[in-house]
Structure 1
Amino acid sequence: MSLAQDLKKVNNLQLAAKLVSDQVVLGLHNSKRSGTGAEFEQYRHYRPGDDPKSIDWKLFARTEKHQVRESATESTLTINFIIDLSGSMNYEEKGVSRLYFAKILLASFAYLGFKQSDDMNLFGLKNGKLELLASQGKQSFQKILYGLENAKAEGNWNFEKINFPEFQSKNKELLIFASDFFQTNSEFYQLVNLWSRPGKQLLLFQILGEKEVSFEWDEVIKFKDLETGKSIELSPEETKNAYLKSFHGYLDDFENELKIENVHFYRCQLNDPIAEVLKNSLKKLKWS
């Protein structure tokens, strides 16, 4: 049984987020700015005007390089959580929906952000619109939990014009986006390109089902488009090879399109331990 299945029995998003986060040794971020604190955690090359006392002479003895120790003081970070609320997020396997997995994942990130006093907002993408579900400020973590708990997935993308100025500022931010990234044309790719700007980091989670990836069905199955409601019956034996070629071709192409600076892509499945997903994805982030 997966952790997501166990957490669903808890039926408490805050507790689920805490249980997942407590399994993660690495913090949400270690954003540093130069200061005069007592702990020295990073180095840079000596520059004229620097105090010679700040040179790490033990390091110089080993490397013959003049490295200046810099202290690290914690800084707050603005985190924007984005959850896909189109109908395809209702897809589920073994009682766990893509939407529920995304909710636990984002709630776990929010818990870590809450512990570090980060500014946080929650947005939902639904029917071609960006909805603010929870804003930063007092009790932002509780507001995010409430927003996630009440978020419902329905409809399709239906984008007439992709333009969300909320994420086009020049401020340093982390955008965490959970979705299946199933697109009609190239709307997700356009969004990512629109949002990827200097000073921002994007962490994208593509959440898939094990059967979606492997097409492991033993009998004729009825497929229903969760966004349009249309359905079709297919025989796995006749369809599997063509499906796998088409689906995995799309996955490969989409991932290759996202090889953009400061864009970090992470693909996971509904049976993956969420704590491991959280921990491994954090390693992709690069803070300076």
Structure 2
Amino acid sequence: MQLDPKVLMTVKNLPLLAKTVVDGFMNGLNKSTVKGPGLEFSQYRSYQPGDDLRWLDWKMYARSDRYYIRESEIETSISVRFLIDASASMNHNDNGVKKIDYAKFLTASLAYLANTQGDSVGLYTLANGGLYSMASKADPQHLQRLFYQLDRIEPSGKFTQPVHYKELFAGTGRKELLVFITDMYQADGEITRLLDSLAALKHEIIVFHLMGRNELDFDFKGYGALQDMETGETIAINTQLAKKEYQETLEKHLADIRMQLLGKRIFYRMISMGQPLDEALRDFLVQRSLTPTPLQRRGA
């Protein structure tokens, strides 16, 4: 069951919303197409030296006198840290849904899904150069606190790189995944610089880039001017004359972002706010299963 974001706006309880979205997603998921931690058993493979002996299937050994590993079992939980862009531009409204609302829906659903996988989850918000930190934990009470803090986020000010950005990773050697939800609006490359700094720390990063359908289609009917939510600057527009040039420029802009992040080994997904959350949930599960262990990260 895929829920339209406008329908989700009617659900005022974030825990209920997250459970509804994830339950519907998991019920419709073809689990044979997505391997990884936390999913159902997928297949056997031959034992290789260095494999964790906990995942040997002794019944298969008894039947075949050969060693087999069961793939797609949970080998270890990971720490998932959600970073929310809470600058003023996240108040952008598309057909009754604000970017910050969609970011809350997405974060709540991903956190709920991660918690069901046995992962610890943390919440971080960026606005006006400040970084709100809620450390990563795995217990259900912590998840409820995350929902509470998530619901309280009110976008304001400009996006600037926080001084203590290294707090986004624990540095414990545990598997870590950072999920950054943003509109990628930057006046002078500040988001790019932050991602450069984070990528240098050698952890896995997913960027979910939120865009309104009205931004993608340049559909601002009835408006003769647009206002920058972070600077207050306004520009006059002629939607008919500007649309073609705008869409060509936007296409190049999105392609440039994708290539830049690919070069940093950062997973990137642009999400239209008119679409359900399923694609993002699927991307998260796949990326979670690909997150390397500390030994793999060091090249062992």
| TM-score of the aligned structures, taking structure 1 as reference length | 0.81
Which residue number in structure 1 is paired with residue 69 of structure 2?
69
Compare 117-126 and 66-75 and name the one that shifted more.
Answer: 66-75
Compare 94-103 and 214-223 and name the one that shifted more.
Answer: 214-223
264, 269, 287: which one aligns with 2:267: 264
220, 224, 243: which one aligns with 2:246: 243
The CA deviation at 1:93 is: 1.2
Maintained 8 Å contact 1:31/1:287: no
Which residue number in structure 2 is paired with residue 109 of structure 1?
110
CA spacing shift, 1:253–1:147, aligned 2, 3 Å = same
**Structure 2 alignment gaps of length 5 or more:** 293-300
Maintained 8 Å contact 2:11/2:17: yes
Maintained 8 Å contact 1:111/1:141: yes
Distance (Å, rounded) in 2 between the aligned partners of 1:212 and 1:256: 21
Higher helix share: 2
Which residue number in structure 1 is paired with residue 17 of structure 2?
16
Maintained 8 Å contact 2:208/2:270: yes
Maintained 8 Å contact 2:89/2:230: yes
Which residue number in structure 1 is paired with residue 151 of structure 2?
149
The CA deviation at 1:137 is: 5.8
Higher strand share: 1
Q: Secondary structure at the match of 2:230?
A: coil
Which residue number in structure 2 is paired with residue 90 of structure 1?
91
Distance (Å, rounded) in 2 between the aligned partners of 1:142 and 1:93: 28
Compare 169-178 and 186-195 and name the one that shifted more.
Answer: 186-195
Distance (Å, rounded) in 1 between the aligned partners of 2:250 and 2:138: 42
| TM-score of the aligned structures, taking structure 2 as reference length | 0.78
Which residue number in structure 1 is paired with residue 297 of structure 2?
none
Moved over 3 A (4+): 26-32, 39-48, 70-74, 217-220
Q: Secondary structure at the match of 2:137?
A: coil
Distance (Å, rounded) in 2 between the aligned partners of 1:133 and 1:153: 17
Q: Secondary structure at the match of 1:9?
A: coil
The CA deviation at 1:45 is: 6.0
Maintained 8 Å contact 1:4/1:96: yes
The CA deviation at 1:77 is: 1.4
Distance (Å, rounded) in 2 between the aligned partners of 1:206 and 1:266: 6
CA spacing shift, 1:69–1:199, aligned 2, 3 Å = farther
Compare 80-89 and 259-268 and name the one that shifted more.
Answer: 259-268
Distance (Å, rounded) in 1 between the aligned partners of 2:197 and 2:67: 38
Quote the sequence identity (%).
Answer: 26
Compare 147-156 and 136-145 and name the one that shifted more.
Answer: 136-145
The one-letter code sitting in structure 2 at the alignment partner of 1:274 is: L
The correspondence of residues 46-195 of structure 1 with structure 2, limited to 5 A, is 46-47=48-49, 68-69=68-69, 72-133=73-134, 136=137, 138=139, 139-159=141-161, 164-168=165-169, 169=171, 170-195=173-198
CA spacing shift, 1:29–1:122, aligned 2, 3 Å = farther
Distance (Å, rounded) in 2 between the aligned partners of 1:142 and 1:103: 14
CA spacing shift, 1:238–1:73, aligned 2, 3 Å = closer
Which residue number in structure 2 is paired with residue 35 of structure 1?
none
Distance (Å, rounded) in 2 between the aligned partners of 1:128 and 1:5: 31
Number of aligned residue pairs: 274
The correspondence of residues 224-243 of structure 1 with structure 2, limited to 5 A, is 224-243=227-246
Distance (Å, rounded) in 1 between the aligned partners of 2:197 and 2:104: 24
The one-letter code sitting in structure 2 at the alignment partner of 1:230 is: E
